[in-house]
Amino acid sequence: MFIRNRKKALTTFALAATLVASANFPTLAEGAGTTVNWTREQASKIQQTADNTAPYFNGGEIEKMTPDYHVWDTWPLRNRDGSIAVINGYKIIFSLTAPSNILPGKRHDIAEIRYFYSKNGQDWELGGTVFPEGEALGSRQWAGSAMVDNGKVNFFYTATGRKGEEHLSYEQRLVKASADIEVSKKDGITFSNWSDHKVILEPEGKYYQTMEEGMQGDIAYAFRDPWFFEDPKTGEEYILFEGNSNGTPAERMCEPEHIGSEEFRANHEVPEVSKLHNGSIGIAKATNDDLTEFEIMPPLVEANCVNQELERPHIVTKGNKYYLFTDTHLNKFAPGVSGPDGLFGFVSDTLVGGYEPLNGDGLVISNPKENPYQAYSWMVMPNGTVVSFLNFFDLEGKTINDIGHQPHEWQFEHFGGTLAPSLKISINQDKTKIVKELEPGVFK
């Protein structure tokens, strides 16, 4: 895998410069580690096999967690060391939700985080919205993570847009808030004594693209999905997140290190529009005990000219190795490179630098070809259990882009909006394999 140091920031347009000057950005880490490229050569090897293809799910037979809400991106309450937390016998999960009478494609525009709790890690009871009404930042909230320490829960989430905005925007900021957790027979799990909600990270334009840069001709913009991680080797604490490589389309190009070896480059054509695919997995290091101040670092992995979105990055450690996982869609790959909706992964002996694609091509879990959108937003638990949500199923040959043109009733009938059957994977050095299908929503 090609490794390179991040280049210095590119010059941005006057508007972006003005906004950056007025922002309160985290400290920049100078020369901290190296960024790894997921190359077109590596991605060209992506192939679905029996080891990485999930079994077909009959979405119509899967019972919904709650009839009142669509449920999608989901994450568990974890301890500081990454293990799944158990609070007075309860496991707790958090999900992006929207009322179930909203068209599935519109759910992201009004997403709120709700929580569920369970004694057995499988049968979930709805607790309610996480944040008190009106306190969360943004016009809606997107995915994040949650960590409990000494009875206090630290919530990290994506504040998307601005509260009260007249027109929906896609600004994305990473936010932290904390609260005490309480358990009672009457109310079940509740949260109280809330802190203020504080923005902890915004894109600074050196390592990660700002929204203003992304608006100058790129496909989309991302700075979201904060995921807390404590490095077991050092005890240092970090936030991982999804971002995009810095610069505007006019300032970027597909470099040799994005493509692959000299031999591969000699016979591989790279369409010009591939430069619009600039997904990255970002990282920032905590610099205070309250986890409200961070030093932003160069990306762990970039997918320049390969893929546009590397969503919900997270790390599982096993032995002395770091396993970095991320989700992406088949329509996010650059022209000339193809892959399924799937969970992809990389492995390294160090937290920063040295990441190589698992299984040679990075593919860990994919949907079956006959049901290519059945699940999404996979997240790997420390024991190898992988959770996801039931997405669009049995589309009768239609693509994801066709769904919004179908009758409303059809869209509701073909959307899951609940947790999918969990999977168990084995992880052995640089290889993974799906070994078992579990019941829906299993976090064991």
Token pair in block for residue 283: 């990282």
**Helix H or strand E encompassing 327:** strand 321-328
Residue 80 CB burial class (10 angstroms; 0-12, 13-18, ≥19): middle
Give the C-alpha separation, 193 to 176, whole Å. 14
Q: Is 278 annotated as a binding residue?
A: yes
Give the C-alpha separation, 370 to 59, whole Å. 13
Which residue of the set 73, 171, 218, 341 is catalytic?
Answer: 73
Q: Is 112 annotated as a binding residue?
A: no
Give the C-alpha separation, 114 to 129, whole Å. 4
Dihedral of alpha carbons 338, 343, 349, 352, sign: positive
Nearest partner of 316 among 81, 158, 127, judged by Cα: 81
First to last CA, the chain: 34
Q: Is 50 annotated as a binding residue?
A: no
Return the ∠ at Cα 318 (arms to 317 and 319), rounded to 5°: 125
Is 73 among the catalytic positions? yes
Return the ∠ at Cα 124 (arms to 123 and 130), rounded to 5°: 165
* Residue type at 427 in one-letter notation: I
Q: Is 371 annotated as a binding residue?
A: no
Whether 279 and 305 have beta carbons less than 8 Å apart is answered as no
Q: Sort strands 3-4 and 35-37 into parallel, antiparallel or unpaired.
A: antiparallel
Which residue of the set 171, 213, 302, 311 is catalytic?
Answer: 311
Whether 309 and 369 have beta carbons less than 8 Å apart is answered as no
Q: Is 311 annotated as a binding residue?
A: yes
Q: Is 334 annotated as a binding residue?
A: no
Q: Provide DSSP, 92-133.
A: EEEEEEEETTS-GGGGGGG-EEEEEEESSSSS-EEEEESSPT
> Using alpha carbons only, how large is the chain's radius of gyration in Å?
21
Whether 50 and 13 have beta carbons less than 8 Å apart is answered as no
Return the ∠ at Cα 279 (arms to 274 and 280), rounded to 5°: 140
Token pair in block for residue 391: 């997405």
Q: Is 72 annotated as a binding residue?
A: yes
Give the C-alpha separation, 269 to 254, whole Å. 11
- Residue list for the binding site for Ca(2+): 278
Residues labelled catalytic: 73, 311
- Annotated binding residues: 72, 143, 224-225, 278, 309-311
